[in-house]
Amino acid sequence: MSDKKSPAAKAGASAGAATIPRDCSLAELPVGRSAVIVSMKPGLRGKKKFADVGLVPGTLLEMEAHAPFGGLLRIKVMDSSLSIHRDDAANIVVRMQELP
């Protein structure tokens, strides 16, 4: 998935190996971390479907869990839990929030 990283994520990574890039794909967001959606990559399928449940730029979300054997992710958006596929999440760019 590294070749699909956004330019911003690359910039963050080159700034120092220890710091987590602030912009990353939703698929890369660690469990327990919150992030704000920055943009949807053009390759994202079902944009409208995601938009309808609140996945639009500016939305705050939290990574709740990863399903066993990869595949699905569970995220909290607007106080409800959604499960989406990792491949789709890879096309959503988010900005990680600072840990509280």
Partner 1 sequence: MSRKYRIVLAGNPNCGKTTIFNCLTGARQHVGNYPGVTVESKTGEFMLGEDEIELIDIPGVYSLSSSSPEEGVAFEELTKPGIDLIMNVVDSSIPQRSLYLSTQLAELHIPMLLVFNMSDEAKKKGLKFDIKKLQSYFGCSIVQTVGSRGDGVDKLKDALAESLLHLEDHDVPKLTYGADVDDAIHELEEWIEPAMTDRVRHIPARFFAIKLLEKDTCVMRMPEFQGLDAIIDAQITHLYARHAITAETFMADCRYAMISGACRDAISFTQERRREISDKIDAVVTNQWVGLPLFFAVMYLMFWFTFTCAAPMTDGIDWLFGWIQGLIERFWSPDVQPVLRSLLIDGVIHGVGGVVVFLPNILFLFLAIAFLEDTGYMARAAFVMDGIMRKFDLQGKSFVPLVLGFGCNVPAIMATRSIESERDRRTTILVLPLMSCGARLPIYVLLVPAFFAVKYQAFVMFLIYAIGVVFAMAAARILKSTLFKGDGEVYLMELPPYRVPTAKSILLHMWDRGVMYLKKAGTIILGVSVLLFIANNFPEKQKYDVDYGAQIMAVAADTSLSPAEQAAAARRIENLKRAEEAEYTISGRVGKFLEPAFRPIGFDWRVTTAAIGALAAKEVFVSQLGILYAEGEVAEDAPDDEQESLRQQLRRAYTPLQGFCMMLFCLLSIPCLATLAIIRRELNSWKWMFLEAAGLFALAYVTTFIVYQIGLLLKIGTNYLA
Residues making contact with partner 1 (CB under 8 A):
40, 42, 45-54, 56-59, 64-72, 74, 77-85, 88
User: Measured from the CB atom, is 23 or 88 closer to partner 1?
Assistant: 88
User: Measured from the CB atom, is 13 or 38 closer to partner 1?
Assistant: 38
Residues with Cβ within 8 Å of 71's Cβ and at least 6 positions away in sequence, in order, are 85, 86
Considering the complex, what minimum distance in angstroms separates the CB of residue 53 from partner 1? 5
Tokens 């910039």 identify what position?
A: 11
Tokens 């943009």 identify what position?
A: 39
User: Measured from the CB atom, is 15 or 45 closer to partner 1?
Assistant: 45
Give the CA count within 13 Å in the CB-facing half-sphere of 60: 6
User: Measured from the CB atom, is 8 or 56 closer to partner 1?
Assistant: 56
Question: Are 56 and 84 a contacting pair, CB within 8 Å?
Answer: no
Considering the complex, what minimum distance in angstroms separates the CB of residue 100 from partner 1? 13
Considering the complex, what minimum distance in angstroms separates the CB of residue 16 from partner 1? 30
Q: How far apart are CA 70 and CA 58, in angstroms?
A: 27
